[in-house]
Amino acid sequence: MDTKPSSHYHPLPVKLFNLVTRGLNAVGLAKIDLSEAALLAQARRETGLQRFGDESFLPAMRVFLGCLENETRLNPFGRLAVKARVLRSLKNRLWAQACFEKHPEILEQEIVAPIVVVGLGRSGTTRLQRLLAADTRLQHLKTWEGFNPAPRLDLADFGKTERREEIRKLLETGRRLNPGAAAAHPQQVDWAEEEILLINHSFCGLSSLGLHDYHQWYLRYDKTAAYRYMADLMKLVSWSRNETTKRWVLKTPQHMLDLDVLMKVFPDAQVVFIHRDPLKTVPSTMSLMWHFVYQSTDLPVRQAVQEVWLEMCEQMARRSMAIRETLPAAQQMDVYYEEMNRDWRAVMQRIYQFAGMEFTPAAQQAMADWLAESEQQGHHTGHRYALEDFGITREEVDARMMFYRERYAIPYEGKK
């Protein structure tokens, strides 16, 4: 297994930023303050707003920041990135509360029977969601809206142009500084994206930055308030688009851990579970999470990533299996990565029948067009990963995940 410190892989701009900032820190300058008081005060100052409304996010924010300080041991680049992320979430909560107070009708909307794609990370959830998102009869979260969901009531068109441009620049910088992460999970500002971006505003998204202590807390923490706030933000997005009657399509692997909470908040959800060979999903997940965390710390983190994410993949599978036993059969169905590869149209036909919608020629054509463009651009072919990078064997992964493979008869991809 590669045990080099993460700093070995940092691109030159990150190395230079860390070097200069540490030099300034040594003489008492350029400190990046991640204290709760400083972050709350800055968010209020920059928005001119005071009320967060529901403050149930504060305990989770404290745990998140504490674990990053004490366990992940953020370098200056990581501290700056986390500060920007936390401030963005805090400011969006302030702006959202201003909207809720001025327009109470927003929260009176109903989110009816969302179609929710659920599966282990790297199992084809993104492709399936983006195919469904091609159907204009459904609504989905766009990337920029996930990061910046709250309208700015004092700006023209609710500040859509400014909010979108901020995230376009953020994604462009990310692709330049971290091409490995961009290859593993391609993002564009207007693409369909998962609602974990909304859960992140409650500091309850499944974080790649947290290591052992954070994830042990995360497995125990009740995320009901975070999911309810996610639903409130979905209503806010629908209201700002004037699309309050459209049915939502959702997806995030996190729902496997919190399927009971998802169904509490959306009791009529129609859930599509997608399955793929764990010998593919587990190492791909480890690789993705390493790409997300390594620039924020100087520590060697491959071993920690391997331990944390093998455990998380197992827990996702076990928890979702247990909760599924309590759900009505009419609200759940299974599809497979390999059948999507063989005949996606047949799979989509089954999904639409399950969801009680007609699979129209227009929807099918829109999906075919999206898929053709995605394949032509190679959006999902640039990620390279190997279990050996993380010091674990196929046999070890197979042993840990065999209960899941056997339960859903998940085939091996290629030769075992």
Residue-by-residue DSSP string for 301-324: -HHHHHHHHHHHHHHHHHHHHHHH
1 lies in some domain: no
Tally of CB atoms within 10 A around 321: 16
Q: Can you read off the two tokens belonging to residue 47? A: 């928005």
Domain region containing 193: 6-408
Per DSSP, which regions of 243-378 are E strands?
Answer: 247-251, 270-275, 332-336
Closest CA to 13 of 179, 166, 165, 182: 179
98 lies in some domain: yes
pLDDT at 206: 78
Is residue 273 within 8 Å of 320, Cβ to Cβ? yes
pTM of the model: 0.95
pLDDT at 387: 87
413 lies in some domain: no
249 lies in some domain: yes
pLDDT at 381: 58
Stretches where the chain sits below pLDDT 70 are 378-383, 415-416
pLDDT at 262: 98
Closest CA to 159 of 101, 96, 106: 96
- Per residue in 129-145, pLDDT tens? 999 999 999 999 999 99
CA angle 110, 113, 115 (to 5 degrees): 125
219 lies in some domain: yes
294 lies in some domain: yes
CA distance 114 to 23: 51
Is residue 313 within 8 Å of 215, Cβ to Cβ? no
pLDDT at 414: 77
Residues forming a β-bridge with 333: 272
264 lies in some domain: yes
Q: What single letter denotes the amino acid at residue 20?
A: V
416 lies in some domain: no
pLDDT at 146: 97
Give the total number of structural domains in the chain. Answer: 1
* CATH number of the domain that residue 328 is part of: 3.40.50.300
